[in-house]
Structure 1
């Protein structure tokens, strides 16, 4: 049975049309490669204008805000679009942005106290308008589980490849890159077997906890506080969380933290000791064991292989 991944591309006023149509065509080409590989996943693409077509969108697994070409709509988007984005996120959709599209995403407040990227020329405007967002302007793409942001004007290509790799197989992305004659060499350094949280399970209380963990992974987290956040007893919370995400809460937290550590090992010069402290582990040796168990490589071996 074919599994459809519903992608909604937001064609907001003055959105870059080469990105809007290019993303649509990228996913259509990916579908052809997926079919040739006899996989059971397909991308179902909808292009929607905020002022008239969002109300007809029935399902979204991925929502994409493309770059901006001209005008200031991206700095003051309409309320209906922001409501749609928040509702989609609460229903488990992954929200994505490229270039100036990150401004619209930030307007939802979902990026507060989280990392994101946008075009380097927009950095000053972004920091002034959204001081609560941790802007990583040096990053081409930041995949933060439930939110993905990409930087430059042509970063929609990188974003599309990231989504294809995440929802299908890495070799599908590489084949797509070869067909498009796009260099995917750098992208192969990413650890595609990394943790991708399951968000479309339909349990709103558990989804709220997942969003909390994603935003507060570097703080002290325990079953009692997470159960209270979900308004459940600890026993009920453990059962429902495991059923929804397929892993236990403590394992989930570990996977989120390990994923963050992988990203920092790849993108920064921080030592593993510094990274451990930054993501919430006081005991470096303890986290080193967790990292090695989850990834199958020691931190030093991971860095030597992928950086």
Structure 2
């Protein structure tokens, strides 16, 4: 029998991801009629408080008492003060690295990716986390290939997933791997989860990364956001800030994680999303409003960023809008 260790680190702030993992694998064991995993909650303290003491988790064992485990699940962390959280979990970080050397597979849920990345095991690998934590993650771990459009990443027994309740898709993915497809489908039906969902792009809200010290780049961001319907020359924008185009691109990427053109595109598509969610404008009207005249170019870019065609996005999030549009 294998051992599944659900880690309960200090600074863990998501009761659902701990309870969810426990319930999914318990249900999988029962359905499979064989205890594929012995499931245990392990921590670095006897009790971890959540939500200002409203809830508490009492791990069954301490990680130092576990010599070997087969699968580790790292739940979501509070990401408002990640350096402090990581410092409080130095023992857990060392333990995860040791278990990996002994062959353990590791899965992080949402912002649990910060703890996993701090072990160095994600260096050069693809990783996902909650889209709202992407800027901070990229700042702390620039050597990780962050792809927040993905709900699940899988590289040689190291798994990560996107944000919030998308962790259920990761659990189903692991259940299918360790049990079988029938067990995963059963769990999907019991917990009413849309199985095989692969992207969190439709749920992403692009806010623009402005938590940086480059004042000229912040001015450029503000200009791009204030002139969405205009055709903007990036060469002229760079020149107006007395920056060479090459240096402008380099500084923009360093500050925001996007090239100037990518940033402009994401701002335009974010505005288009909001119009499609709440208004009654046609898709063509929305397209013109954000500065596009080429229908195919707009549709392709919208789908690339959101994972959905404009009409599908509108029909999904705006029930009051007409669904039969000639587009």
Q: CA deviation at 1:5?
A: 2.2
**How far apart in 1 are the matches of 2:85 and 2:133?**
12
* Runs of at least 4 residues off by over 4 Å: none
Alignment of 1:190-229 (within 5 A): none
Q: Which range is displaced more, 155-164 or 121-130?
A: 155-164
8 Å contact kept, 1:10–1:63: yes
Match of 2:180 among 156, 162, 169: 169
**How far apart in 2 are the matches of 1:74 and 1:5?**
29
**How far apart in 2 are the matches of 1:10 and 1:115?**
22
Match of 1:152 in 2: 163
Aligned residue pairs: how many? Answer: 182
Match of 1:63 in 2: 72
Match of 2:136 in 1: 125
Q: TM-score, normalised by structure 1?
A: 0.56
SS of equivalent residue, structure 2 residue 72: strand
Match of 2:112 among 81, 101, 106: 101
Where in structure 1 are there 5+ consecutive unaligned residues? 188-267, 270-307
Alignment of 1:1-307 (within 5 A): 4-15=1-12, 16-35=14-33, 40=34, 42-51=36-45, 53-69=62-78, 72=81, 73-186=84-197
Which digits, 9 at most, give the CA deviation of each residue in 1:196-235, with x for residues without a partner?
Answer: xxxxxxxxxxxxxxxxxxxxxxxxxxxxxxxxxxxxxxxx
Q: CA deviation at 1:165?
A: 0.6
Where in structure 2 are there 5+ consecutive unaligned residues? 47-61, 199-302, 305-327
SS of equivalent residue, structure 1 residue 143: strand
8 Å contact kept, 1:30–1:176: yes
8 Å contact kept, 1:74–1:100: no
Q: CA deviation at 1:156?
A: 2.3
Which digits, 9 at most, give the CA deviation of each residue in 1:27-57, with x for residues without a partner?
Answer: 111111101xxxx552211111124611112
Q: CA deviation at 1:186?
A: 3.5
Match of 1:264 in 2: none
Q: Kindly report the root-mean-square deviation, in angstroms, between the aligned alpha carbons of the 2 structures.
A: 2.0
Match of 1:291 in 2: none
**How far apart in 1 are the matches of 2:170 and 2:196?**
15
